Structure 1
Amino acid sequence: TTADDPKQDKKRDNRHIVDNNTSQALAQNTLLQMKKTSTGSQIVQRLVQNSATFRQKTDFSRAKYIAKKQRKYQPRCRLVQCNANTISQAIFQKKDPKKFSSLRPDTLAQLLAYSNITAGAHVLVWEELHGMITASIAERMAGYGSVFSLYTGQQVNYHEMLQRFNFSFAVQSTIQWVHLGDVLDQDITEKDLEAADRDAMTWPCALQDHTRRYLQSAELCPPKHEARRTEKQEAFLEKRYARFTRKLTRPSPQECASNLKARPCDSLLLVIRQYDIQETLEGLLPYLAPSCPLVIFCEYLEPLTQCFQWLQDNQLAIHLHLMSTWTREYQVLPGRTHPAMNMSQNGGFVLTGIKLDTELGRNQEPDEETLQEIRASLPTRRGKKRAPISEGHQKKKDRKVFKSSGDTRESNGKTATR
């Protein structure tokens, strides 16, 4: 009888197996020595051969035992392309999800879809997820359009996340960093020193004094260190070259703020953790063009509820939807298909809407004179225009008679007959 015989498998069970750490004959020192000299498959094979309870297990238990030992002694890795999906999935599963507001890959896809991120768009985004949202937007736009990413503090600290995406120069140039103070301040009167310094530079840039002194001091090294000295000089010059290239090609912060104010944005995306969402939305909503989408993500429901009520009361947006993102993963195996035992409870909440025009987008009821002009302009059934309604005819028309249960009553509430 073979090991895969179903009749023999029914006779075997795990009821008499006791987990007391005595079934494995290999010692710990032997395993440590095998790790240095043998491969992972050889170690797993030796563990199976020296297990006293392996033959008593069912086929399913044997497969689980082998898979467990392979994960420990025969690790495998897979190289995948760095994009928004793979990076967000790795961060959500391997790192602390709370640092990224429990943002799952499917939630990130919903944010990009509701924001209508396309090539050539003009997007305004403020996030506190270390540049994850900004990089995902730039990846989808593929080098066409503009991404105005707001930041606070002295400088931008999202460059580490952008380096993981391996963006080209065209995609990297679409991202323009704008300080929040420059956006909220309508009048910028300070002189743009960075732009003046950039305009004064010429290409190729001449070596500065401290750079020339460093290269001259490196040439005084002994001849035996010639290869190491040359390698250091090349690495140093490459860094200087990259620095001057960025300085000549990137716009200054004031230029980015001017570009943002030059035309309204096509999308507004907010992912905020520490600041008040409603006050932030009040300050940034004027930069969004009418009939364009606004999307807000938050880990908690209460801040989005306040924004929903504020937008609805002031008639600033339509098609407002407040939803929770939830997903369930399934294990799909023959005869063992069921939901995953470990899954995320909540992936945050999303508020979406479309901005209304502040002057023409409000729902205002027309007065009586406007209604009469509209009625007069409409043709009758025979194609003739309606005659203007006189005051006496209007009073007679307003007096409506309702007959019910033998009673005749006028519209003004007085009883005529009974």
Structure 2
Amino acid sequence: MEENTIKVGNYVIIQRQNYTKLQKMKENCTVTLGKDVIDIDAVLGHRYDETFRMVLKSGTKRTYMLEEVSQLTLTNNTQVEESGIDNRDIIDDGKSQTLSKSEIENLRDRALSSGDIVQKLVENSRTFNSKTEYSQEKYLKKKEKKYFEYIQVRKPSIRLLAQMFYRQDPNKTLGIRLDDLSQLLTYANVHSDGHYLLYDSGTSGLVAASILNSIGHDTRGHLVHMHPGNECQKSALQAMHFPDEQQRRCINVNLYSVLRCYHQNDIPELTTETDTAKRKQTEEDTQQRKKPTWQYENERACRILREQVDGLIIVAKEHPVNVTKELIAFLKGDRCVVVFSLVREPLQDLYFHLKERTDFVSINLSSNFMRSYQVLPERTHPEVSMNFGGYILTAYKLIKLTC
């Protein structure tokens, strides 16, 4: 029950129809949706996925508080008397609506439902009945979306985060769509007891959160999350609010720092059991060594790299050849390397590089474009706004046989 209760410090996804926004809960918390400012303190102590109604604060404009509703009932009571044949005679001069802006704002101030406001707009429109049936339907949907007064507070999940990041700005996740993400996890065969190596240079922590979510918390698996900067991107990792035990299974290290540590062999010998038992050390030992956190993380990562990993995933802004050449040495035989890129040409260079090697087979470069369709009565067509997604290269490493 406590896990499903919204508390201060938790991340929530505020959803208003198809619009979603990630928000960290705190005292006196407000969120801005379009031009509306919403005080969301009322959701604290409630369970996720509950629905709230936006109620205008007295003496304010477009500032709302929330009240819980037990059941959401949406009824479209807009009366459409007639429709036109075409829109050729309709002139968009901004004078078709007889209600002024202040009168429309007064409708919202009176706390009318979105259906009632849309009905008033239709009744006072000079051109609505002249529009075609299709144009009328678009108009009604647009206005209902604008004046929709309900929001839902949802618990972050990998699917919701992937869709939200991609809708807001695909560049935040290097163009990874939900179908691309699922293929990365499938090709790398991510499971609970595996050790995985990820190089990520800009997906807001989405790929790392997805892998850690698949590993779980009551397992033996680990994720070595390499990144190029001093700090990794971890918006998605924070939003998922993983348990402490699960978070400790993600080892965040700088690429160059951990490789330097590995090749210098400056790693204390510790057993895997000692490393995974929440790093139980005495205070005397800690004070004696006085090593910074990043150095401990490097040592943990190097111990896993010595044993080699069960899957290698690379999602990089940089050209992937040099990064891949450096990291495939840590991949076990009979395991897969998966590389994602928004453009094809860098992966073509990597494809030919792996072809020249003798330790990789089944090298494949593909783009499984997922086309979304809009299905409506008597018409079906692709979505108007679609992005192409990216390309994925996969290759399997051969097992070295010793005589």
Shorter chain as denominator, the TM-score bin is 0.5 to 0.7
Instruction: Using the TM superposition, give the Cα deviation of residue 68 of structure 1 relative to its aligned residue in structure 2, in angstroms.
Output: 1.7
Alpha-carbon displacement from aligned partner over 1:220-247 (angstroms, at most 9, x marks no partner):
xxxxxxxxxxxxxxxxxxxxxxxxxxx9
Q: Is the Cα–Cα contact under 8 Å of residues 83 and 131 in structure 2 kept in the other structure?
A: no
| 1:351 alignment counterpart | 393
Q: Which position in structure 2 is the counterpart of 1:367?
A: none
Q: What secondary structure, in the 3-state scheme, does the structure 1 residue paired with 2:263 have? A: coil
Aligned counterpart, 1:416: none
Q: In the alignment, what sits opposite 1:115?
A: 188
Q: CA deviation at 1:251?
A: 9.4
Residue correspondence of structure 1 range 317-356 to structure 2 within 5 A: 317-344=360-387, 346-356=388-398
1:260-283 residue CA offsets vs partner (Å, 9 max, x unmatched): 234121101111113x42221221
Counterpart of 1:21 (choices 85, 94, 105) is 94
Aligned-residue offset at 1:16: 3.9
Q: Residue 47 of structure 2 corresponds to which residue in structure 1?
A: none
| Matched residue, 1:382 | none
Asked if 2 retains the 8 angstrom alpha-carbon contact of 1:296 and 1:352, the reply is: yes
Match of 2:305 among 234, 239, 261: 261
What residue number does 2:69 align with? none
- In structure 1, the residue matched to 2:178 is 105
Query: Retained in 2: the 8 A contact 1:4–1:59?
Result: no
What's the offset of the Cα at 1:12? 5.7
Distance in 2 (alpha carbons) for counterparts of 1:256 and 1:104 = 31
CA drift at 1:101: 1.9
Distance apart, 1:34 and its partner CA: 2.5
Distance 1:319 1:45, change over 3 A: same
SS in 1 for 2:125: coil
Structure 2 matches for 1:162-177, cutoff 5 A? Answer: 162-177=237-252
Secondary structure at the residue paired with 2:164? Answer: helix
Counterparts of 1:384-403 in structure 2 under 5 Å? none
Cross-structure match for 2:140: 66
SS where residue 353 of structure 1 aligns? strand
Correspondence for 2:264: 187
Q: 1:173 to 1:17 in 2, by over 3 A?
A: same
Greater share of strand: 2
Structure 1 residues 11 and 29, CA gap change in structure 2 (3 angstroms) = closer
Aligned 8 A contact 1:178 1:256 in 2: no
Aligned partner letter, 1:29: S
**d(CA) in 1 for partners of 2:84, 2:281:** 85
Alpha-carbon spacing, 1:125–1:13, altered in 2? closer, same or farther (3 Å): closer
User: Which residue, out of 280, 304, 309, partners 2:347?
Assistant: 304
Q: What is the rounded CA distance, in whole Å, between the counterparts of 1:284 and 1:56 in structure 2?
A: 65
For residues 381 and 123 of structure 2, the distance between their equivalents in structure 1, rounded to whole angstroms, comes to 33
In structure 2, do the counterparts of structure 1 residues 22 and 335 end up closer, same or farther at CA, with 3 Å as the change threshold? same
Q: TM-score, normalised by structure 1?
A: 0.65
User: How many Å apart are 1:14 and its aligned residue?
Assistant: 4.0
Residue 82 of structure 1 deviates from its aligned partner by 1.7
C-alpha distance in structure 1 between counterparts of 2:84 and 2:171, whole Å: 49
Quick one: distance in 2 between partners of 1:177 and 1:263?
18
In the alignment, what sits opposite 2:211?
A: 137
- The structure-2 alpha-carbon separation of the partners of 1:113 and 1:191, relative to structure 1 and needing over 3 Å to count, comes to closer
RMSD over equivalenced CA pairs, Å: 3.2
The answer on whether the counterparts of 1:179 and 1:253 sit within 8 Å (CA) in structure 2 is: no
**Structure 2 alignment gaps of length 5 or more:** 1-77, 270-274, 285-291
- Mapping of 1:30-109 within 5 angstroms? 30-39=103-112, 40-74=114-148, 76-95=150-169, 97-109=170-182
Q: After superposition, what is the alpha-carbon deviation per residue over 1:41-66, rounded to whole angstroms, capped at 9, x for unaligned?
A: 33222112212233344443332222
1:270 aligned residue: 314
1:105-164 CA deviation, whole Å, 9 max, x = no partner? 11111111111111111111111123211110011122221111113333x333433111
Change (3 A) 1:80 1:330: farther
Q: How many equivalent pairs are there?
A: 306
Counterpart of 2:263 in structure 1: which amino acid?
Answer: Q
Contact between 2:258 and 2:302, CA under 8 Å: does it hold in 1? Answer: no
Whole-angstrom CA distance in 1 between matches of 2:227 and 2:83: 65
- SS of the residue corresponding to residue 338 of structure 1 reads strand
State the distance in 1 between where 2:323 and 2:308 align: 17
Identity of aligned residues (%): 27
Amino acid at match of 2:135: S
Match of 2:337 among 289, 294, 298: 294
Q: Distance in 2 between matches of 1:64 and 1:186?
A: 62
**Going by fraction, where is helix more abundant, 1 or 2?**
1
Change (3 A) 1:309 1:360: farther
Larger radius of gyration: 1
Matched letter for residue 349 of structure 1 = Y
Does the residue aligned with 2:160 lie in a helix, a strand or coil? helix
Question: Partner of 1:152 in structure 2?
Answer: 228
Provide runs of 4+ in structure 1 moved above 6 Å.
none
Q: What are the superposed Cα offsets for residues 185-230 of structure 1, whole Å, 9 maximum, x if unpaired?
A: 42243889xx9x984538xxxxxxxxxxxxxxxxxxxxxxxxxxxx
Give the aligned residue type for 2:162.
S
**Deviation at 1:296?**
0.7
* 1:337 partner SS: strand
